[in-house]
Amino acid sequence: STNEAKVEVYSMTVDSTVTSRFAHTVMTSKALNKANSSQEIFFEVELPKTAFITNFSMVIEGQVYVGEVKEKEKAKKQYEKAVSSGQTAGLVKASGRTMEKFSVSVNIAAKSNVTFILTYEELLQRKFGKYEIQTRVKPKLPVQDFHIVTNIYEPQGIAFVDAHANFLSNELLPLVEKTVTDKKAHISFSPTIEQQRKCPGCDATQIDGDFIIKYDVNRAETLGDIQIVNGYFVHFFAPPDLPRVPKNVVFVIDRSGSMSGRKMEQTREALLSILKELHEEDYFALIQFDSEIDSWKESLTKATKENVDEAMVFVNRISARGVTNINDAVLRGVNMLLTDRQQKRLHERSVDMIILLTDGMPNSGVSAPHLIQENVRSAIGGKMSLFCLGFGDYVDYSFLDVMSKENKGLARRIYEASDATLQLQGFYEEVSSPLLSEVDLRYPDNAVDFLTTNHFAQLFNGSEIVVAGRLKDEQLDNFMVEVFGQGLEDDFKVQGQASPQDWNVMYPDDEYIFGDFTERLWAYLTIQQLLEKSKSGAPDEKANATAKALDMSLLYSFVTPLTSMVVTKPETEDGTDSPLIADKLTEEQRQQADRLGTTVSHSYRAQALYPQPSYFVDGD
């Protein structure tokens, strides 16, 4: 972006290479300062929240300034030094639900060029049976040389590819080129400067929004797909044609005062539509709570049409009042499931789950988050999954996140917006179709080590389990793989051999794809899992996980919440230089930014400690 027309962005390229779900994206922008004086040029891009920046560099007058990933504390010192001398540094901002914004500015001399290059990597997650590559482009003016290019390499074979953008007009639509062969897809979008214009001769551009590619791979093997490349392996497991397992689900719904109005309305709407989606063999229960806890029935009920109709009447009557007792409400749900199990009211091979929907901090009954987590963990005792939906900007997300993960579940933020009903339904759809439970992926100890998590509480329909590891012997030709799980009727058990594929045979025309992707995929997954581990568990385990995640972030040059990327800006006229910094936000920092509607400038902001509460009486 530029302040004046005297700076021209003449080239913008987004180049993504996806190899076995691991996406490596390079965004390059080139600008020219046409003015007779120096100007500040801004580089502002958005990247997916799930991505880690791996490099940021600038080329000014032929000189390359390369970023370096440093431990956050060390980068902080450099940053503070710059700030104390009145200079600015880079900023990372939360930006909507799926993206985060990275922006820096640099002062460019008269008649000079600057090139910004940002690289980021992510492991694409399969949801609802597809992977999604999202690229956000927002050039302020039409750009002479504009390209979005994506190459997908999937050794399993590509089932389908779909590319669209929310800015595509009828004229631009034919410009999306898509070539799909068995194991490779090429998608490109390169409108000319004239085609980018909103109207002939005008300066405004119609290129503004998200370019989204969705695809899936073929799934023939029950064992899944195992790829071995350069001493590392990755195992993708999502077998086809598995019957769904019936579920027993207890909905625990917050109806405290702060839910009143739109949130309560959207919760009712979502619940009504979720109830309609229940399969007849499922069992369900409804518990609503404020400081008091009321359940629709005292035990789970089969989801027959009559029962669902009756439940819908109950849902329609849920209205907001009072304060929030999460502890007792969740425990009521847990006890209901445990009792029904004990009394054999539920299908033996079925999955038990609690879905908690809440918008706020617990403030009635047991209200200390760590005590609730402890109570819930000990009551559940590994016997069921807890999924948490945190509604709105004021929810203590990390509390719900930890509580879910400690109980074989996951948490999701629901943003207060007109589509909150759809967000709620979407999350439910994601977790409501378990295909297998207690999935164990086993590899021989003498062949592999440094495994990522290989036990999963569930495999959901439309998702995928990914495990990666390192081969002890790089020359290994093959090793045995076994997968165990609990399915609808029988135990799921499958075994087979993993052997390396010859990438030169698969992709003879592509000289180089990016050879260390399996190792980087393994590193990415390991770091993500260590970061998760660093949030819960014993203090020494947390510290250990944090230390390991930091080491690996530095080793593989990933900007994670523990590291920063520092690029030293060229000297300014006063002879000083100042660092540009790229950071990664945590979900809590994003939430804080959403709530305040402001920028979160890394974690270097002084954390204000809460003063003591104060109670007083006075007069005017």
Interface with other proteins (CB under 8 A), residue from 125, 144, 260, 304: 260
Instruction: Find the shortest distance in angstroms from Cβ 357 to other proteins.
Output: 16
Instruction: Find the shortest distance in angstroms from Cβ 393 to other proteins.
Output: 13
Of 510, 524, 473, which is closest to residue 155 (Cα–Cα)?
510
Instruction: Find the shortest distance in angstroms from Cβ 243 to other proteins.
Output: 44
Regarding 512 and contact with other proteins (CB under 8 A), the answer is no
Give the distance from CA 313 to its chain's centroid: 36
Instruction: Find the shortest distance in angstroms from Cβ 588 to other proteins.
Output: 16
Regarding 453 and contact with other proteins (CB under 8 A), the answer is no
Interface with other proteins (CB under 8 A), residue from 306, 348, 573, 618: 618
CA 528-532-534 angle, 5° bins: 115
Residues of this chain, 532-591, that bind other proteins according to CB under 8 A: none
- For 341-360, letters b (16+ CB in 10 Å) and e give beeeebbeebbbbbbbbbbb
Regarding 607 and contact with other proteins (CB under 8 A), the answer is no
Angle between helices 262-277 and 420-431 (to 10 degrees): 30
- Give the per-residue contact string, 292-321, with other proteins (x = CB under 8 A; - = no): ----------------------------xx
Instruction: Find the shortest distance in angstroms from Cβ 618 to other proteins.
Output: 3
Interface with other proteins (CB under 8 A), residue from 258, 432, 458, 563: 258
Question: CB neighbours (10 Å) of residue 20?
Answer: 22
Interface with other proteins (CB under 8 A), residue from 257, 381, 444, 515: 257
Interface with other proteins (CB under 8 A), residue from 256, 295, 423, 560: 256
Q: Which is nearer to other proteins, 267 or 526 (CB)?
A: 267
Question: What is d(CA 76, CA 354) in angstroms, rounded to the nearest whole number?
Answer: 42
What six digits make up the tokens of 246?
């019936």
Interface with other proteins (CB under 8 A), residue from 367, 529, 544, 603: 367
Give the distance from CA 329 to its chain's centroid: 29
What six digits make up the tokens of 21?
């779900």
Contact range with other proteins by CB under 8 A, out of 141-149, 255-263, 412-420, 547-555 = 255-263
Contact range with other proteins by CB under 8 A, out of 231-239, 275-283, 337-345, 362-370 = 362-370
Question: What is d(CA 402, CA 535) in angstroms, rounded to the nearest whole number?
Answer: 7
Interface with other proteins (CB under 8 A), residue from 63, 84, 504, 614: 614
- Backbone φ and ψ for 359, nearest 5 degrees, come out as -115, 5
State the burial class of residue 11 (Cβ atoms within 10 Å of its Cβ: 0-12, 13-18, 19+).
middle
DSSP-H helix ranges across 46-172: 72-84
Strands 68-71 and 91-95: unpaired
Q: Which is nearer to other proteins, 512 or 615 (CB)?
A: 615
- Give the per-residue contact string, 142-181, with other proteins (x = CB under 8 A; - = no): ----------------------------------------
Total residues interacting with other proteins, rule: CB under 8 A: 28
Q: Which is nearer to other proteins, 328 or 464 (CB)?
A: 328
- Give the per-residue contact string, 314-353, with other proteins (x = CB under 8 A; - = no): ------xxxxx-----------------------------
Go through the chain and tell me how many residues it has: 620
* Long-range contacts of 338-344, Cβ-Cβ distance < 8 Å, separation of 24 or more: 338/379, 338/383, 339/299, 340/248, 340/283, 340/299, 340/300, 341/383
Q: Which amino acid is at 587?
A: E
Q: Which is nearer to other proteins, 220 or 617 (CB)?
A: 617
Interface with other proteins (CB under 8 A), residue from 200, 243, 261, 575: 261
Instruction: Find the shortest distance in angstroms from Cβ 330 to other proteins.
Output: 18
Angle between helices 397-405 and 369-380 (to 10 degrees): 20
Q: Which is nearer to other proteins, 511 or 620 (CB)?
A: 620
Q: Which is nearer to other proteins, 512 or 610 (CB)?
A: 610
Element (H, E) at 595: helix 587-596
Regarding 437 and contact with other proteins (CB under 8 A), the answer is no
Regarding 414 and contact with other proteins (CB under 8 A), the answer is no
Regarding 372 and contact with other proteins (CB under 8 A), the answer is no
Instruction: Find the shortest distance in angstroms from Cβ 534 to other proteins.
Output: 25
Q: Which is nearer to other proteins, 364 or 452 (CB)?
A: 364
Question: CB neighbours (10 Å) of residue 573?
Answer: 8
Regarding 597 and contact with other proteins (CB under 8 A), the answer is no
Instruction: Find the shortest distance in angstroms from Cβ 359 to other proteins.
Output: 9
Regarding 358 and contact with other proteins (CB under 8 A), the answer is no
> Positive or negative CA dihedral for 542, 596, 421, 320?
positive
Instruction: Find the shortest distance in angstroms from Cβ 367 to other proteins.
Output: 7
* Sequence-separated (6 or more) residues with CB below 8 Å from residue 546: 530, 534, 562
Contact range with other proteins by CB under 8 A, out of 25-33, 40-48, 359-367, 400-408 = 359-367
Contact range with other proteins by CB under 8 A, out of 3-11, 20-28, 175-183, 606-614 = 606-614
Regarding 57 and contact with other proteins (CB under 8 A), the answer is no
Instruction: Find the shortest distance in angstroms from Cβ 267 to other proteins.
Output: 13
DSSP for 158-218, written as a single string: EEEEEEEETT--TTTGGGEEEEE-SSEEEEEE---HHHHBSSTT-S-BS--EEEEEEEEE-
**What is the CB-side half-sphere exposure of residue 121 using CA atoms within 13 A?**
26
Of 133, 121, 127, 131, which is closest to residue 560 (Cα–Cα)?
121
**What is the CB-side half-sphere exposure of residue 267 using CA atoms within 13 A?**
31
Contact range with other proteins by CB under 8 A, out of 54-62, 253-261, 395-403, 507-515 = 253-261
Instruction: Find the shortest distance in angstroms from Cβ 375 to other proteins.
Output: 18
User: Contact, 450 vs 425, CB < 8 A?
Assistant: no
What six digits make up the tokens of 479?
């090793």
Instruction: Find the shortest distance in angstroms from Cβ 358 to other proteins.
Output: 12
CA 537-542-548 angle, 5° bins: 140
Provide the binding-site residues for other proteins, judged by CB under 8 A: 256-261, 290-291, 320-324, 360, 363-364, 367, 610-620
